[in-house]
Amino acid sequence: MNFLAHIYLSGDNELIQIGNFMADGIRGHDYLNYPSEVQKGIILHRAIDTFTDAHPIFRKSKHRLHEKYGHYSGVIIDIFYDHFLAKNWNNYADESLEKVANDFYESLRKHYDVLTEKTKGMMPYMIARNWLVSYASIEGLSMILFQMDHRTKNRVAMHESINELKAFYTDFEEEFTTFFEELQVHCEEKLAIL
């Protein structure tokens, strides 16, 4: 799952959201250097990634892209799944996506001192381009994939995966919906024991 799902699956705790959001850049036991609620977010992020990578539905989605995009097929599906979460946001949350996104951006500003350097560097671009809301449209998704290409020195032209998204749109959306129901339950159980 990508940024939006990680934030959403963290519940209402700002520090758990932040830990979950920035966990990719935190290796091994380095998470212990953060406040306890941020640590919970990092642990939750790792649990989400483990669950996702092993899940047969996610693997099915990923397999559809693997021949062309190789290792990056999982990254692309993470982004596609965030698209379906954003597009269908009202099915999952009472507050609007715009409000949740703005609240999260404000939370990043408020807790700037606990952010990783990588997160601090990415934050201005994320907020200026409103990535979390951009996921909801194909145009916004194209922009995000194009930016991913830039960050990965255009190794596999991820922006071209929009073609596969359009060609298999219904399949991807149905896979996301089923998978995400299971992931939500998994995260609720994980949060309850953290």
State yes or no: pLDDT of 154 exceeds 90: no
| 149 has a pLDDT exceeding 90 | no
Q: pLDDT tens for residues 56-86?
A: 999 999 999 999 999 999 999 999 999 999 9
pLDDT tens digit sequence for 14-43: 999 999 999 998 999 999 999 999 999 999
Residue 131 is which amino acid? W
Picking from 83, 137, 105, 142, the residue whose alpha carbon sits closest to that of residue 21 is: 105
d(CA 117, CA 75): 22
SS3 26: coil
Over residues 145-162, mean pLDDT: 88
Sole residue written with tokens 């062309």: 68
pTM, to two decimals: 0.95
Query: Other CB atoms closer than 10 Å to residue 29's CB: what's the count?
Result: 7
**Residue 171, token pair as written in the block:** 């399949």
Average pLDDT of the residues in 91-118: 97
* Span 145-168, average pLDDT: 90
pLDDT at residue 124, rounded to an integer: 94
**Are the C-beta atoms of 152 and 99 separated by less than 8 Å?**
no
Per the document, the length of the chain is 194
Q: What is the mean pLDDT of residues 174-183?
A: 98
Residue 58 token pair: 């996610």
Average pLDDT, the chain: 95
Best CA proximity match to 69, nearest among 180, 154, 170: 154
